[in-house]
Amino acid sequence: MEPFELSLTAAAAEIGARRLSPVELVDSVLARIEATEPVLGAFACVTADAAREDARRAEQEIAAGRYLGPLHGIPLGVKDLYDTAGVPATSSSRVREGHVPDTDAVAVARLRAAGMVVVGKTHTHEFAYGAITPTTRNPWDPGRIPGGSSGGSGAAVAAGSCMVGLGSDTAGSIRIPAALCGTVGLKPTYGRVSRRGVASLSWSLDHVGPLTRDVVDCALVLDAVAGFDRLDPATVDVPVPDSTAGLDRGIAGLRVGVPVNYFGDHVSEDVAAAVRAAVGVLEEQGAQVREVTIPYADQVLAAEWGILLPEASAYHQEALRSRGDLYTDDVRLFLEVGELVLATDYIKALRVRTLMQQGWAAVFDDIDVLVTPGMPVAAPEVGATHVTWPDGTTEDVTTALVRLTSPGNLTGLPVLAVPVGSDGAGLPLGMQVTGRPFDEATVLRVGAAYQAASTTVGRIAPVV
Amino acid sequence: MEPFELSLTAAAAEIGARRLSPVELVDSVLARIEATEPVLGAFACVTADAAREDARRAEQEIAAGRYLGPLHGIPLGVKDLYDTAGVPATSSSRVREGHVPDTDAVAVARLRAAGMVVVGKTHTHEFAYGAITPTTRNPWDPGRIPGGSSGGSGAAVAAGSCMVGLGSDTAGSIRIPAALCGTVGLKPTYGRVSRRGVASLSWSLDHVGPLTRDVVDCALVLDAVAGFDRLDPATVDVPVPDSTAGLDRGIAGLRVGVPVNYFGDHVSEDVAAAVRAAVGVLEEQGAQVREVTIPYADQVLAAEWGILLPEASAYHQEALRSRGDLYTDDVRLFLEVGELVLATDYIKALRVRTLMQQGWAAVFDDIDVLVTPGMPVAAPEVGATHVTWPDGTTEDVTTALVRLTSPGNLTGLPVLAVPVGSDGAGLPLGMQVTGRPFDEATVLRVGAAYQAASTTVGRIAPVV
């Protein structure tokens, strides 16, 4: 087994015991990047020299007895939306070509402080404004998209080209590539992790968080990045618990909600069956399954787009005026449409969101977590514009990909994406576990309970 | 001395000792209403029968030993913007003519639970959308406006037509009539008091709070209405301290900020002198005065209107479409203008507000409270459209009245309006004391310290 194939926890155990050097691990990962990038195109840039230097320093620190913990020496891929000191941060856009920030985004700085080694910047759909990531291919089938916008992180983590990828999620951009590439992904509670230094798409819907190979890794990274930041006014000054502490406590008696509406509409039979089976696994471990009704389901997409479109256009307005021709056509169109939205319509979308948040809070009076499909389909083919459903209707790919994840952005609740096996073609399928505000610990515990009974969480894609 | 002339605290002491019956007090106040209303026009409706009945019940409860505390049996005027069970709530608008709610607004319910007796609904500028209150006259000079939008509450409290008036404040609507009528008024921290059951003007700027004759009364009412309400998602679940506890503790060592910009521009010499004198009073009591610079001062009015206009239009959109001709011309014009605002412009105003909040938070690193003029002028004459300044410039009356209060709405910080004497014509002048989020206790303590050295706080207007 090559070092890049180890789980983060296994690699950390080897590093902590000085049986594996961060230098060996990073070299193995860099070699994996070199082998897979011609097919994947997951990275906007690879920072091999800096990574080797950081790995050497980590090796020396550990040799000198200054082991920082399980993230020390672990290779990290950072979505190109994040600022990285001295390394280009282009948001995969010509608009930001040549932009080299002076400082790291808060999440990057915190992970570096925990000893992680940045191996490169991963591709995003331009400015995170899309669910495809056209630069990048799916590691399970290069004829398929990885999803987006954190498609580079999803593809790289699944392929073994890094052990953790940072992502961001405004309408599902962590959970979409996680589901389509077969990784774990966490959209933390709105306000749990600082977004300072990450290019904004729609600040009232934006979340940052990790994509990882398994649930334990995800908890480790969350604990390192979580916490109040006075300069991200959305962050909330609440205690950050140790998410890894109760991961193996089991889920006996936990009330698992399963929706009777919305999340079952236009979902492939493969996905539905895989999620049903996953719920069965949770039930076998003592969870109590309860049916729940999703409130304001008909308003999800109107609210999501009614907020996202104008917020994105406000953020990009100056660049659109001065350098509009540098955007790709699809993103420029979105930005132009967003400029036409009236304030009163945006405000109505905000009001619907508030009602939705109240409605979901009431749903969680009766359950501890909600389990739903992650994506309605496995990864679509590259170039596909529509999904065709058995009832003869079609749906554009972007709508299909954001439809089941947007409620998490509107409600701000923490959502964990967990792989639940594959379809007949070997493509990964995913589920989402949603919890109460700031209760990432419980969604991670449910993910860990499922993972313990699963053979497919943590797999590395062959990149065929 | 008639009972209506007593301070709330004095009346409460008499009632608690059973030397004064709530029935006598309410009768005295109702007589005062009858005597002053032909001049003032402060009330949209007077609920004399219900008030007498409530007073009788209070009398019986107290006789039976069930004294609820200092608000028991105290006459309350409720701004017509508030829902009141079984009593019309028209927001002083023909659009809401005949609207009789089934339930009380939360603040009304809480005050009734504390034993207060509602004597009537006080006039608001239509839907709180204006600073004039054209229905109502100033009790110090009926040729002058009372200010608005809580002009009825301001006039009634100052005249002795009720002991406490409920108001709401979106751009200054509690503090403007408080200053122009010579009462105390508190705009609590955004999120401190539930607004459920109060017609919205601009929900992200709307605050509800009391107008009272003195600072102690204000603290008593605040404590009764403050607290989290799950159904007003803006409210914050923080402890509600006993604001009356430390009121007489003095202000030795307290750091009092005095602004070097914005709040001194285009302020009458009478007001400036009165506020300087008030600051001197605080200094004599041991406060340390420090000069501070107000951040983002040039953006205050743009942000205030950029948020208020479209939020109000979103709230009124359906009524404007179906019954637009029932609005007064000035309010209909505002509502129509608000419909033209683009979402991107609204969003830019929200972003400026966030920067402003951060900037003000930094100012409060060095001070405990900020003391500023309340209004730039004393009450304008009825029908005046402009204020003329010594430098020859003119300013429309509404802008003059909201200019110094809007920062409190944008920042959400608690602001206490306190009378600081009168001008040569006998018209009241006011100051504002602004504090840190949820630190109403300190602004009230400063107000109480000033009041202890003042002879004009708590005066009743003769209604000449």
CATH code for the domain of A105: 3.90.1300.10
Residue at A134 is within a domain? yes
Domain count across chain B: 1
Which residues contact residue A230 at a Cβ distance below 8 angstroms, ignoring those fewer than 6 apart? none
Dihedral sign from CA coordinates of A436, A437, A440, A441:
negative
Phi and psi at residue A247, to the nearest 5°: -60, -35
Beta strands across the sheet bearing A415-422: A43-46, A117-122, A75-79, A164-169, A207-212, A184-187, A415-422, A428-434, A369-373, A255-259, A288-292
Whether A342 and B343 lie within 8 Å, measured CB to CB: yes
Per-position DSSP letters for A260-282, written without gaps between them: SSSTTTT--HHHHHHHHHHHHHH
B351 contacts on A by Cβ (under 8 Å): 314
DSSP 8-state class, residue B380: P
Provide the domain limits for residue A12.
3-249
The mean of the pLDDT values for chain B is 97
Residue B336 at interface with chain A, using a CB cutoff of 8 Å: no
Cα atoms in the 13 Å half-sphere on the side-chain side of A240 = 19
Q: What is the rounded CA–CA span in Å between residue B137 and residue A463?
A: 80
- A343 CA: distance to closest CA in chain B (Å): 4
Residue A454 at interface with chain B, using a CB cutoff of 8 Å: no
Which residue in A317, A344, A347 is closest to B344 by CB distance?
A317
A341 contacts on B by Cβ (under 8 Å): 342-344
Is residue B193 within 8 Å of B225, Cβ to Cβ?
yes
Residues of chain A with pLDDT under 70: 464
Is residue B245 within 8 Å of B443, Cβ to Cβ?
no
Residue at B193 is within a domain? yes
Hey, which bits of B300-427 come out as E strands?
369-373, 386-388, 394-396, 415-422
Is residue A47 within 8 Å of A72, Cβ to Cβ?
no
Q: Which of B80, B79, B22, B71 is nearest to B51 (CA)?
A: B22
Whether A314 and B343 lie within 8 Å, measured CB to CB: yes
Phi and psi at residue A290, to the nearest 5°: -130, 140
Q: For tokens 């605040």, what's the residue?
A: B222
Is residue B437 within 8 Å of B236, Cβ to Cβ?
no
User: What is the structure's pLDDT at A143?
Assistant: 98
- B327 CA: distance to closest CA in chain A (Å): 19
Cα atoms in the 13 Å half-sphere on the side-chain side of B337 = 11
Q: Where are the alpha helices (DSSP H) in A138-297?
A: 151-159, 175-181, 215-225, 269-284
- Interhelix angle B151-159/B22-40, nearest 10 degrees: 120
Residue at B177 is within a domain? yes
pLDDT tens column, B131-172: 999 999 999 999 999 999 999 999 999 999 999 999 999 999
Whether B344 and A233 lie within 8 Å, measured CB to CB: no
pLDDT band at B464 (very low <50, low <70, confident <90, very high): low
Dihedral sign from CA coordinates of A341, A297, A330, A182:
positive
What is the residue type of A258? V
Exposure class string for A406-445: b at 16+ Cβ within 10 A, else e:
bbbbbbbbbbbbbbbbbbeeebbbbbbbbbbbbbbbbbbb
Q: What is the rounded CA–CA span in Å between residue B440 and residue B225?
A: 13
Residue B393 at interface with chain A, using a CB cutoff of 8 Å: no
Whether A344 and B313 lie within 8 Å, measured CB to CB: yes
Over residues B246-275, the mean pLDDT reads 97
- B330 CA: distance to closest CA in chain A (Å): 19
B354 contacts on A by Cβ (under 8 Å): 233
What is the residue type of B448? A
Whether B358 and A233 lie within 8 Å, measured CB to CB: yes
Residue at A331 is within a domain? no
Residue at B203 is within a domain? yes
Residue A428 at interface with chain B, using a CB cutoff of 8 Å: no
Burial class (CB in 10 A: 0-12, 13-18, 19+), B444: buried
Dihedral sign from CA coordinates of A22, A25, A28, A29:
negative
A7 a catalytic residue: no
Dihedral sign from CA coordinates of B245, B247, B253, B259:
positive
Which residue in A310, A341, A342 is closest to B339 by CB distance?
A342
Q: Which of A317, A342, A346, A313 is nearest to B340 (CA)?
A: A342
Residue at B446 is within a domain? no
Q: What is the rounded CA–CA span in Å between residue B439 and residue B443?
A: 7
- pTM of the predicted protein model: 0.89
Closest residue in B to A316 (Cα–Cα): B344
Q: Give the residue from A190, A342, A364 with the most B CB atoms within 10 Å of its CB, the best one to mutate.
A: A342
Cα Rg, chain A, nearest whole Å: 20
User: B149: cis peptide before it, omega within 30°?
Assistant: yes
Is residue B167 within 8 Å of B79, Cβ to Cβ?
yes
pLDDT tens column, B372-426: 999 999 999 999 999 999 999 999 999 999 999 999 999 999 999 999 999 999 9
- Residue A311 has which token pair? 């917020």
Residue at B335 is within a domain? no
B338 contacts on A by Cβ (under 8 Å): 343-344
Q: What is the rounded CA–CA span in Å between residue A62 and residue B436?
A: 46
What is the residue type of A124? T
Whether A346 and B345 lie within 8 Å, measured CB to CB: no
A with B: how many residue pairs have Cβ under 8 Å apart? 67
User: What is the structure's pLDDT at B436?
Assistant: 98
- Residue B176 has which token pair? 């403007």
Residue A237 at interface with chain B, using a CB cutoff of 8 Å: no
* pLDDT above 70: percentage of residues in chain B: 100
Burial class (CB in 10 A: 0-12, 13-18, 19+), B228: middle
DSSP 8-state class, residue A228: -
User: What is the structure's pLDDT at B212?
Assistant: 98
Whether B344 and A344 lie within 8 Å, measured CB to CB: no
A361 contacts on B by Cβ (under 8 Å): 230
* Secondary structure (3-state) at B66: coil
Q: What is the rounded CA–CA span in Å between residue A202 and residue B140?
A: 51
Q: For tokens 């962590």, what's the residue?
A: A174
Which residue in B231, B317, B357 is closest to A344 by CB distance?
B317
Residue B252 at interface with chain A, using a CB cutoff of 8 Å: no
Residue at B122 is within a domain? yes
- Residues 345-364 of chain A with CB under 8 A from chain B are 345-348, 351, 354, 357-358, 361
Q: What is the rounded CA–CA span in Å between residue B53 and residue B118?
A: 10
